[in-house]
Structure 1
């Protein structure tokens, strides 16, 4: 048993922040979360159509699939510094403004390079949002972590589910530019909500009365020297590796197997919908688990069965994407672990930035290598075996090593000798698991 394991309680009822400002924060969190995958899934079903107009090949599709991970890697690492400079609410407002403006402008892109650059702007905003939302949840809802993690997860999945479902029909009706830019309004609304929340905090709202998202003492050691943070980043990286490989290449794989582009987009939505259904219970189960390995192993098995099915029997694709949905629900598990494995808002911000930044950097190879091997070999077998299968094996090993929950604060302290005196435990402090 590691020192100071996380409490098994899903929520922290002894922490009761004032309700003022929490309703607006809840709505702002939901609207922001809707955009975190929408930027990606609104484009991926249209890449073949856009490629025909702009004249780019499969390798460029792989670049589009890798671009989100570049943004998530870079801004995952620097967002905590931005939060310290601007504050968490202002950072959330900035993230949604960049997302909305990038989505509007890329719909008017005249060529491949401009489309890549403006997609990068939109993804910069999504990357900021990825990191800032977990500590904002810890800040405003420390007594409702499981519930709010579930709310965030549902919003992320809904934002990922609907664009591929309607992208091709909308593009056939109004053109791909309308189909791509129509989603920007959600991000712009979210930016206004966070501006209002930021202004309310400045007038003495909840945010000024509770710990900020960068509050709490500094970690006892730099996060770069904490093995737990690296293991969680590797696990997050392998999960994200597969999520974005599927977002990028599943429509192409299904189209190559004989499904129409519209059907392929619908099947991507079915995968996201299945992930949503499995993910509804994932935050509560993850927060309660004394051993997270069975949860992760089940999701990895879903990935394995899904990949095998699409490769060997694509005619039954609706069944296989359900298994892939079980696998992609691991993203919810790893995101929940960020809040579950921190006991202070500052720890949550540090762990969120490091895990998502380093993990996204690790995941960069997934979409690019999957497409590159496909082009080099003239088929998808090597991509399935080496890119997908190899990442699942790595994730399985890391999940077993990092199976017992504990906090980043406790991990930072573990290499130091015990102090002679300890401060009194608070409701947010880690509590050893029973037994």
Structure 2
């Protein structure tokens, strides 16, 4: 058997062990290096109270633990999606019951067209006012104001004679303008770059779902309750969105995501800290002085002109030329709206294998087939609505992807987006009115559909020209290819 050595109290080996143990404890407490031990690691300072768990993300970002005193990002985004239901439906719900409004108020087709023209015109003309409001009150209160304004506009539009209907349409347009400006900023604040594309797709898809639900339900409601109650019923949805959003209003810390702060990019949130002093300002030319900016604005104008013209008058076209009932025409129009979601998804798949020129040509072919089929064979209205629905969703999404391709930074992308949408909406605001006036002057839908084809030709030509210019710019050795896979917008 092995003999066990007995260590006495005065043994020198035990003295050395005691000395090393005591020195290690003192070194660990003091944070200094001790001979015979590895370098001690000091604990990092604790984060400010109420921000633990957020890491290097903005406080409360989707995918991170929310700061104390803030609503969960899931709740914020869910409330925003409920609000998105009211950002397209209020003015598209007029078309399925245009006959009822016209007969009750003694209006013409041109006047009915104003009900869809005015909100679109507000999107362009009231953008400076909406931007000033957002800067003054911040994102959260601005969205609450937007939903309250839409709710009030819906009530005013259904309350009185033609003047009240007109005034209510203006109020609705102002509210939707604020919502359109502030919603992308809230999505960017509440999500990490990894989730921004998914949440943005959900937001735009929800707007299309709201438009579909409105066009599908307004005709039966009008037959049951009358057109005034049918139009004002959507105020319940915007009121629900107000309540949902109000529950998320908590004191929010003003923070900037680490990635954006590292690039010295300014945050759009008025409450966010200013960028570091000495940050160089951009030397790029204003977007309004660039050829690509104008090409994208004209393409957006052609896309939006065709979309709103078809969305506003498709029910009437189907009743007059295809002999459909009011409810059936509303159902086909709803199908046209909901297919925009599928069109956006198909675009992301197509860009992986098809060139931008091929994608643009494919969108143009689908879009042009819609009015051509309605013109030559209105009995094939379901095919026309299917092709047009896919094309309008893909066309709008393609324009926003092109903005990401041409922009050197997030701030530059915002400039392109603001110019494209503001200019495009102003140029396209009168298109539903023009289609209605042309129908009233010709007592038919041939010339109005030819006008829609002209809008689509403008969209196709200018988008192809923009694609060529962007491709030429990205062909430089230091620039990535135009056909690179899409990434999450930061």
The equivalent position to 1:103 in structure 2, one of 151, 154, 161, is 154
Q: Report what 2:124 is aligned to.
A: 73
Q: Report what 2:268 is aligned to.
A: 213
* Cα offset, 1:255, TM superposition: 1.1
SS of 1:119 mapped into structure 2: helix
Q: Report what 2:235 is aligned to.
A: 184
- Counterparts in 2 of 1:36-51, with a 5 A limit? 36-51=87-102
Q: What are the ranges of 5 or more consecutive residues in structure 2 without an aligned counterpart?
A: 1-54, 67-71, 261-265, 485-490
The equivalent position to 2:435 in structure 1, one of 366, 370, 375, is 370
Looking at structure 1, the residues matched to 85 and 111 of structure 2 have their Cα atoms a distance apart, in angstroms, of 26
Larger helix proportion, structure 1 or 2? 1
Contact 1:95 1:126 in 2 (8 A): yes
Contact 1:65 1:247 in 2 (8 A): no
Looking at structure 2, the residues matched to 34 and 348 of structure 1 have their Cα atoms a distance apart, in angstroms, of 26
Looking at structure 1, the residues matched to 169 and 327 of structure 2 have their Cα atoms a distance apart, in angstroms, of 23
Task: Select the structure of larger CA radius of gyration.
Answer: 2
Looking at structure 2, the residues matched to 114 and 63 of structure 1 have their Cα atoms a distance apart, in angstroms, of 13
Q: Are 1:204 and 2:268 an aligned pair?
A: no
Looking at structure 2, the residues matched to 285 and 191 of structure 1 have their Cα atoms a distance apart, in angstroms, of 38
* Cα offset, 1:242, TM superposition: 0.8
The equivalent position to 2:424 in structure 1, one of 353, 359, 362, is 359
SS of 1:308 mapped into structure 2: helix
Change (3 A) 1:52 1:174: same
- Counterparts in 2 of 1:372-387, with a 5 A limit? 372-385=437-450, 387=451
Q: Report what 2:165 is aligned to.
A: 115
Looking at structure 1, the residues matched to 376 and 124 of structure 2 have their Cα atoms a distance apart, in angstroms, of 34
* Cα offset, 1:55, TM superposition: 0.6
Q: Are 1:235 and 2:235 an aligned pair?
A: no
Q: Are 1:277 and 2:326 an aligned pair?
A: no
Contact 2:319 2:326 in 1 (8 A): yes
Q: What are the ranges of 5 or more consecutive residues in structure 1 without an aligned counterpart?
A: 1-13, 415-429
Instruction: Provide TM-score, normalisation by structure 1.
Output: 0.81
SS of 1:30 mapped into structure 2: helix
Change (3 A) 1:59 1:271: same
Contact 1:232 1:402 in 2 (8 A): yes
SS of 1:144 mapped into structure 2: helix
Change (3 A) 1:263 1:166: same
Looking at structure 1, the residues matched to 341 and 347 of structure 2 have their Cα atoms a distance apart, in angstroms, of 10
Q: Could you report, residue by residue, the CA deviation over 1:177-234 in whole angstroms, capped at 9, with x for unpaired residues?
A: 221111112223333444455x43x432767987632577765333322333322221
Contact 1:165 1:266 in 2 (8 A): yes
Change (3 A) 1:237 1:391: same
Q: Report what 2:380 is aligned to.
A: 316
Contact 2:292 2:469 in 1 (8 A): no
Change (3 A) 1:273 1:346: same
Q: Are 1:260 and 2:325 an aligned pair?
A: yes
The equivalent position to 2:216 in structure 1, one of 156, 161, 165, is 165
Looking at structure 2, the residues matched to 178 and 371 of structure 1 have their Cα atoms a distance apart, in angstroms, of 24
Looking at structure 2, the residues matched to 187 and 341 of structure 1 have their Cα atoms a distance apart, in angstroms, of 36
Contact 2:90 2:231 in 1 (8 A): no
Contact 1:154 1:280 in 2 (8 A): no
Q: Report what 1:423 is aligned to.
A: none
Contact 2:158 2:232 in 1 (8 A): yes
Q: Report what 1:129 is aligned to.
A: 179
Change (3 A) 1:32 1:263: same
Q: Are 1:64 and 2:115 an aligned pair?
A: yes
Looking at structure 1, the residues matched to 171 and 142 of structure 2 have their Cα atoms a distance apart, in angstroms, of 15
RCO comparison, higher one (Cα < 8 Å, 6+) = 1
Which range is displaced more, 161-170 or 130-139? 130-139
Looking at structure 2, the residues matched to 74 and 316 of structure 1 have their Cα atoms a distance apart, in angstroms, of 38
